[in-house]
Structure 1
Amino acid sequence: MKFLHLAAAIGMTALLGACATPFEVADVNEIMAAPAPTAGSAFTKALFTEYKAYTKHEALDEYEWDHAAVFARKGLTAATGASVDPELTADWNLMPERVKELDAARARLVGYFGNGARDRVPAAAAKAQVMFDCWLEEEAEGDTNSDCRAAFLKVEPELQVKAAAPTAPKIVKTFIVYFDFNKSALTKEAMKTLKDVAAAAGEIKPSSIYVAGHTDTVGNARYNDKLSSARAASVEKQLTKMGIKSIDAKSFGFTKLAVPTKANTKEAKNRRVEIYFEK
């Protein structure tokens, strides 16, 4: 059977008029008849599939059985579960001015593999390797802008390790200190709350502490801006005395009411400083 297979391959070679050897034709025939492998990783299985498809294209569409055999052998090796490396520019007759781009692309590809792309995205990794090999083969034939080059560049982003989106800080604790009407001095109740703030800061160890001063709607905006700033400063100063550092203090006047009211309305819950822990 092997003799008949080889004889058929020899006949096909002669018929095609290609420069491939009988053994190269036999390799091409072997991969085209081969079933999907059961051995190996997801990457090597995908690599076999990609090399088989490109071998078929080179042999039956381009009639380049010698080149088809190069990829057939790589696909047959992948079918055993073994990884094969992308082609080297030194092994192909390339225009010198094109080598730099190809070497850079190969270096990126190998880098992606080193960062786990073959395990993370096996199908895309296999596609990228075969498209790189195809690109290199097309460059050897003088095509400097081949479909294979475009396919490699298209799939390349899938191989890159995507940086995780930074996690936005969350408010994990909130305290509210209330003030007497038109005052920024801390009351006894306010001092008790600030002691709780200091104790909680030691336990929670927040990444950020924010202090926001507010007022009710009595008086004009300019006056209440100053009053809310004074209230925030009172809280910040006391917390600093208690050992809490790096406080971000802001003031909002009556622009952010806890209880919506009409203008010139006294409302105890609006005369406040809010303290936020973020982590």
Structure 2
Amino acid sequence: MSFKIKMTTATMAACIAFAAAPASAANILFPDYEEFKSHTVTGTGFNAELARQYQTMSAYEYQEMYDYIDAETYAERGMMAEKDITPAPFQPEEWDIDDPAAMKELQAARIELLGAMQKGAADIAPAQAANAQAKYDCWVEQQEEGWQTTHIAQCREGFRAAMIDLNEAMMPKKAEAEPAAPVAKIDPPKLPPRVELSRQVIYFDFDDASLTPGAELKIRELTASVAGLDDINVHVEGHADRAGPSDYNKALSEERAENVRNALIANGLPTSKLKRMLTDSEGESDPAVVTADGVREARNRRVEISVTGFEDKTASSGPANVASAE
């Protein structure tokens, strides 16, 4: 059952009646929102930061989106946080989310967020940790509604950006060295050039962006091969064949790349060790096999995954093999 509809019959009736009620009725039907909306939250710890995040979200849902139920929900969570009772990130399974891929992505993201919390994120970087949790809850709530694709994307990308900021904030700071006597200037050693450490090509069925069992296996193998690496770049690039309109193929290749990216994260790609992760799409413009327009070609329906880093960190592992066509 949806998180939103776990309400008493009386509350549901009150919500229906609210549309015809005067604005002053908010303190009767949505008391937590009314009490919390103008309250000044003090403090700088994680719960205080989280309370302010929820306060902003509650006001937005009520005043801009006319979503009174979610406004009340965020107000309740904000009041809990201000009392130093930390609300856990939303459980996506408790929300009515129909898209299996979106559910899997949300579950993986929650694991990533909780992993950071277990490493002390709330104490080390309270503002960044609170922002990450708030953006995650926003993503879950918008994904259940399902129709405001722009808002879903904003919350999802906001969460991803917040996690990058959180991981950076949690990195150990270098201790300041004591002033030392002047020494002769020595040029720092040059880092070796980045090289491709691992590569996979994932193939897709015609007019389809879903991952085959063979593709999922290749993604798990690649994820395992880079699990011990640091300071890596990951490039995920989607492609399509020339059957169908070019703009459609562009969107299809983008969906394929996004599905592969999500699968990498869901299978444990160490995002805290990433220097950069880039996802893009080429549509039908960069075929592996050149064909005439309108021709189906299995080798062009693909996503290429490239992992680059420093060769001396992978002496024992070696690059992964390129996947064969599914």
With normalisation by structure 2, the TM-score equals 0.43
Bigger Rg, structure 1 or 2: 1
Higher helix share: 1
